[in-house]
């Protein structure tokens, strides 16, 4: 049983601290060079001035100062941590003496992530937590993988921290390797595999069709609520290669990155960003045609699809995606998600 999850501030903090300290040291050194007479007077008053020349003492002290600064900056970064336990965050820091600050939070807390463009590139950002138990917002500054830590906090609020930690390890292992497109194409559609010719371009009408996005999200939601699976986009039901070239011109960025960005936007709008970590998009070239494979893991709680202001619940049954009735949802959730039973 995992009782807590701990994260550290991003290594960018260590680099930034070293740069600032080095800048201060250089400024002080340059300032010291303007005080030639004074610094020699100060040196002459030192008890060991007769044993060391001024130049030899400078050559000895400067590397020692550099070493001390580096060790101090590293220990300051290394010893600062944030630990999550159910309803509690513990902030620990301090080089010589460990200091701790404990903040309570509860269900209903508002948690937001702030990630700069550089943070997106280097995978760091900050979290802001607001609730009735704190006068001011708690700020968790410059931590690594803030979205993953945000999900952990949300699971801690639900009292399901150990399950969340185990699930994150499973997710990491499951997405370690890209799926084999050749192996997927060797199979027919089944409860864990479905083919779609495109995400939004209708090859029959030659126009954009938003219903195709809804259909793709239904399939993904069905995978999430079942055993997981693969949605291959760019291949029709007859397993004929169609590719993504028809979709690309209708995206903000007509390439694979633009495709994945649009997929994420649609997913976040219709399913929710809290489940985005459960899917992974990869792109494959086959016979000169590019296709996208969306791998979905099984969720540990119910996933509802938002369509036209309504929420619907889908599962995979064989090679189709099935919409459940209200009474069926309750029975299904009691067996599939015992931790998150839905009372209707």
Query: Is the pLDDT assigned to residue 216 strictly greater than 70?
Result: yes
What does the alpha-carbon distance between residue 306 and residue 271 come to, in Å, rounded to a whole number? 6
Q: Which pLDDT score, from 0 to 100, does residue 344 have? A: 32
Domain count for the chain? 2
Q: Which pLDDT score, from 0 to 100, does residue 214 have? A: 95
Residue 287 backbone phi and psi in degrees, to 5: 55, 40
> Is the pLDDT higher at 282 or at 128?
282
Q: Which of 114, 140, 174 is the last residue of a domain?
A: 174
Residue-wise pLDDT tens digits, 28-57: 777 666 666 566 566 666 665 566 665 676
Residue 121 and residue 28 share a domain: yes
Residue 183 and residue 315 share a domain: yes
Residue-wise pLDDT tens digits, 287-304: 889 999 999 998 888 999
Residue 280 and residue 187 share a domain: yes
Per-residue b or e along 129-160, where b marks 16 or more CB atoms closer than 10 Å to that residue's CB = bebeeeeeebebbbbbebbbbbbbbebbbeeb
Q: How many residues does the chain have?
A: 344
Query: Which structural domain range is residue 313 located in?
Result: 177-340
Residue 142 and residue 62 share a domain: yes
Torsion over CA: 6, 7, 8, 11 (sign): positive
Residue 221 binned pLDDT confidence (cut-offs 50, 70, 90): very high
Q: Which pLDDT score, from 0 to 100, does residue 42 have? A: 63
Residue 110 and residue 28 share a domain: yes
> Is the pLDDT higher at 96 or at 264?
264
What does the alpha-carbon distance between residue 194 and residue 321 come to, in Å, rounded to a whole number? 10
Indicate the burial class of 251 (C-beta count within 10 angstroms; 0-12, 13-18, 19 or more). Answer: buried
Residue 259 and residue 233 share a domain: yes
Q: Which of 105, 140, 174 is the last residue of a domain?
A: 174
What does the alpha-carbon distance between residue 270 and residue 268 come to, in Å, rounded to a whole number? 6
What does the alpha-carbon distance between residue 177 and residue 284 come to, in Å, rounded to a whole number? 13
Residue 303 and residue 196 share a domain: yes
What does the alpha-carbon distance between residue 91 and residue 176 come to, in Å, rounded to a whole number? 31
Residue 284 and residue 225 share a domain: yes
What does the alpha-carbon distance between residue 12 and residue 120 come to, in Å, rounded to a whole number? 13
Residue 187 and residue 153 share a domain: no
Q: Which of 152, 174, 196 is the last residue of a domain?
A: 174
**Alpha-carbon distances of 222 from 98, 119, 199, 256, 339, rounded to whole Å:** 48, 33, 17, 24, 19
What does the alpha-carbon distance between residue 337 and residue 334 come to, in Å, rounded to a whole number? 6
Question: How many C-beta neighbours within 10 Å does residue 202 have?
Answer: 15
Q: Which of 292, 181, 182 is nearest to 244 (CA)?
A: 292
Q: Which pLDDT score, from 0 to 100, does residue 334 have? A: 85
Residue 305 and residue 276 share a domain: yes
Residue 339 binned pLDDT confidence (cut-offs 50, 70, 90): low
Residue-wise pLDDT tens digits, 170-195: 444 466 566 778 888 888 999 999 99
Indicate which CATH number applies to the domain containing 238. 3.30.950.30
Q: Which pLDDT score, from 0 to 100, does residue 170 have? A: 45
Residue 205 binned pLDDT confidence (cut-offs 50, 70, 90): very high
Angle at 199 between CA 194 and CA 200, to 5 degrees: 145
Residue 190 and residue 152 share a domain: no
Residue 232 and residue 130 share a domain: no
Q: Which pLDDT score, from 0 to 100, does residue 343 have? A: 38
Q: Which of 336, 343, 243, 240 is nearest to 289 (CA)?
A: 243
């Amino acid at each position: 049983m995992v009782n807590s999850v701990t994260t550290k501030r991003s290594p960018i903090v260590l680099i930034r601290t070293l740069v600032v300290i080095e800048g201060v040291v250089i400024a002080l050194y340059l300032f010291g060079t303007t005080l030639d007479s004074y610094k020699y007077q100060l040196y002459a008053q030192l008890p060991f001035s007769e044993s060391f020349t001024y130049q030899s003492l400078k050559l000895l002290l400067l590397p020692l100062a550099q070493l001390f600064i580096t060790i101090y900056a590293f220990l300051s970064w290394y010893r600062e941590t944030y630990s999550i336990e159910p309803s509690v965050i513990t902030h620990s820091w301090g080089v010589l003496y460990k200091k701790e600050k404990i903040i309570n939070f509860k269900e209903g807390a508002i948690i937001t992530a702030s990630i700069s463009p550089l943070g997106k590139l280097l995978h760091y950002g900050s979290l802001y937590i607001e609730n009735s138990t704190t006068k001011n917002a708690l700020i968790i500054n410059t931590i690594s993988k803030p979205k993953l830590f945000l999900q952990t906090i949300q699971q801690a609020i639900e009292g399901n921290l150990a399950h969340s930690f185990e699930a994150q390890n499973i997710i990491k292992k499951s997405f370690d390797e890209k799926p084999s497109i050749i192996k997927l194409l060797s199979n027919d559609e089944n409860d864990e595999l479905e083919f779609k010719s495109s995400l939004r371009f209708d090859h029959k009408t030659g126009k954009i069709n938003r219903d195709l996005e809804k259909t793709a999200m239904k399939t993904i939601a069905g995978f999430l609520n079942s055993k997981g699976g693969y949605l291959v986009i760019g291949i029709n039901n007859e397993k004929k290669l169609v590719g993504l070239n028809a979709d690309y011109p209708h995206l903000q960025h007509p390439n694979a990155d633009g495709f994945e960005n649009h997929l994420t936007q649609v997913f976040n709008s219709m399913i929710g960003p809290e489940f985005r970590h459960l899917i992974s998009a990869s792109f494959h070239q086959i016979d000169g045609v590019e296709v996208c494979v969306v791998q979905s893991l099984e969720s540990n709680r119910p996933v509802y699809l938002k369509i036209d202001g309504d929420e619907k619940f889908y599962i995979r049954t064989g090679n189709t995606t099935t919409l459940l009735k209200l009474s069926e949802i309750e029975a299904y959730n009691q067996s599939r998600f015992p931790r998150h039973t839905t009372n209707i």
